[in-house]
Structure 1
């Protein structure tokens, strides 16, 4: 498997404005293997495609950007013998995704024994908001010791789906994969859009999903806080304030500060700083960007401010961290 060492792309992404809140385009990836279910993986792509159609007008960008990936790129043969063209994996993906779906099939079982692929998944996981298996894709997550864990960005429930809970075979993959994708659409664009996507894709059997979609999202204070925490994580590279996050949670700033500390264990400011530092550390390790440019791209202001925060929080300068992390990576590669 070839893992190209490429410069990381720019983090300048288009933004959405939904309900008065500026949001980045969500980057979704679907990782395919030979023998995977076309229905299970295809329905995920269709959910986000239809969500784009229903929520985009001439003044806004599409909410979702979907990439179809495989270990080596090129054609992947699904269980129905249909071939799907994919992009290969490389270092650019270390910046992570908003969501990563790992498809199943016999190829997923083989991938679970590929140490380099497992290492890639662990590295990407650190900067990925949501990871979901589709059918046998769970075997790869188990090999990477990711099953049952919460992702870095998702401090709420992390329900790993087996794709076989409510029905058998491809039907189960299709329903469970669709539910996972709709969860994200419901969170990002609201329950009305999620319902419309369901009715478009499954007009005859969407009734199985209506009770799931009908649940009030974030009605409890704890749910509102977690939704605001996700928003902070997803928008940490921009100039945002705690007042903005309180607005997302539909709370007064004072109440939000109190409830956030109770629910998350840290203050919103510290949570935001941790998110920014995580991305900063990733860029220091995986890119050649100057420290000052990294600071601007991660919402840390400038290089001097970043250096002060780094020394206070990590007892080391950004440049020293870059050198140390690369030395350690070189030792691990031997």
Structure 2
């Protein structure tokens, strides 16, 4: 069996799970195959700009090897609050760029996308990062196509993942690509995680960036949130915004990138999401309270936005 070198790049104040999550996936794949008498397919190590202990943001120090000259089969770049300082290290960025060219595939976990983007390798690519950093990534690197809800994205040899535990999802996908679905599923079972997680990271976040107070329509969004049970036609929204209907629709789309109808659906789904997780109210009552009218209409909208049913969301996130 081919031996694959996996290097996980860390730095000061990296998120420790960005490093250890993927490492455990590869270690578990090795363990399963060794038990069958098959040689371990992965040789994984943590690397950093300087060899020795590297303190993570949690306080746990990781013992790293020096940056290798030998090409990786897979290079994985961790994220964390230290990613900004790491992105400003010209020698490290140059090493990633050079090393990535020779590696079979390159991946970033969580905000590691910022460090990978600093090399220019992600230019023009579809990418994802932690849900709370997607807007910042798009602003810093406007040439990237940032998708806020994906768990991970593959673009040729380049892979990016969402926040923290999504690094496990990404590593399982890498094992599946290398060794097949059956083995990846065994690893997922051993780690007690999904092989392919249902839904996107919107399940774990407040996805409504259009509700930010500094938005031009922030006050309108707050007003919509207070009138969800009522009919909200364009004429009423335009009047609330003190604009003509035509001008309102044009300016709203230009500001938010979506139609008013889509925004109302998202605000209603967000309200339903909170009620599902924070209360024991029946789904039918939540549907009426959030302006969906019927349970089936709520279900269709919830599936469209969150990629799971209201009941499945409640089972997963209710306290």
What is the TM-score of this pair, normalised by structure 2? Answer: 0.50
Greater relative contact order structure (CA < 8 Å, 6+ sep):
1
